[in-house]
């Protein structure tokens, strides 16, 4: 079993930056693909970014390309989501998810991920 816990959310003004962290425990997730999803009020949960087990392959939603960056530190069992140039439409609960182990690709669909965190709120004000 894998547990993932998100942190780093908060309130930020438009144009600002935040870094989210996803710490994993239980089985080592160094062989797991990790993803970030988000859910805004009244909307479905959507894919934001993903990274394969080695960090060599990343995938981003078009809406965040060039503004968000996903990285991982396998020694710390932690995945990060650096967010810059934040917009009010980035406001959502952000979820970390794990897919693995050693499965191919960085999928954008919720059903492809096996373990989920409880989420962290990101609010971007004007």
Residues 56-104 have pLDDT tens digits of: 999 999 999 999 999 999 999 999 999 999 999 999 999 999 998 888 8
Q: Which helix (H) or strand (E) holds 20?
A: strand 18-26
- Identify the pLDDT of residue 26: 77
Residue 10: how many other CB atoms lie within 10 Å? 13
Tokens of 98: 């794990």
Report strand pairing: 78-83 vs 33-39.
Answer: unpaired
Q: What is the pLDDT of residues 12-58, one digit of tens each?
A: 999 999 999 999 987 778 889 999 999 999 999 999 999 999 999 99
What residues are paired with 83 via a beta bridge? 18, 68
Residue from 124, 119, 116 nearest 1 by CA: 116
Give the Cα separation of 2 and 88 in Å (integer).
32
- Identify the pLDDT of residue 4: 95
Inform me whether the pLDDT recorded for 1 exceeds 90. Answer: no
């Amino acid at each position: 079993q894998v547990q993932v816990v998100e942190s780093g959310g908060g309130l930020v003004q438009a144009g600002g930056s935040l870094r989210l962290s996803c710490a994993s425990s239980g089985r080592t997730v160094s062989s797991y693909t990790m993803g970030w999803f988000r859910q805004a009020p009244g909307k479905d949960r959507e894919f934001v970014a993903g990274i394969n087990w080695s960090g060599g392959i990343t995938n981003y939603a078009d809406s965040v390309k060039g503004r968000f960056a996903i990285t991982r530190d396998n020694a710390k069992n932690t995945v990060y989501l650096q967010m810059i140039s934040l917009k009010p439409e980035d406001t959502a609960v952000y979820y970390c998810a794990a897919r693995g182990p050693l499965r191919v690709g960085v999928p954008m669909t919720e059903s492809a991920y096996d373990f989920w965190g409880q989420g962290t709120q990101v609010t971007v004000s004007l």
